[in-house]
Amino acid sequence: MPVLPWTQPNTPPRATDVHVFASRFETRSLWGALKFFARTPGVWRQVSRAPGAYGATLKAEPLKRTFWTLSAWESPEALKAFAHTGPHAPTARGLAAQMRDVKFASWTTSSDDLPLSWPEAARRLT
């Protein structure tokens, strides 16, 4: 299973609250999974330059048509700005019809707890 390692575009201040966002996407078909996989590099580049992004990682099981994201942000507003701009916005709209099951979770944690763990994200997404 491919995993993009935790990347830290911006260094968060120590001992401050950060907004965490996790997602799980399951596509309707392998074709949808291939489309998702093909569009990942553009969105990943956007994350690496996003203002307010404190870290992100992605897990992919393309043959199972399932993808997970996990990211930490300065604020919910920083995440919203990211989601509505750059490659992410048209990618999300373009892939919406390919999705069979989508789950989201968000919570607050301390910047001292970064990088985030996949087990915690999986727990929150169930």
Mean pLDDT of 102-125: 96
Domain with residue 82: its CATH number is: 3.30.70.100
pLDDT surpassing 70 at residue 1:
no
Number of structural domains in the chain: 1
Q: What's the pLDDT score for residue 2?
A: 84
- Can you give the residue range of the structural domain that contains 67? 3-125
- 64-88 residue pLDDT tens: 999 999 999 999 999 999 999 999 9
Alpha-carbon distance 17 to 73, whole Å? 9
28, 100 contact by CB (below 8 A): yes
- 15-55 residue pLDDT tens: 999 999 999 999 999 999 999 989 999 999 999 999 999 99
109 pLDDT band, cuts 50/70/90, is very high
Any idea how long the chain is?
Answer: 126
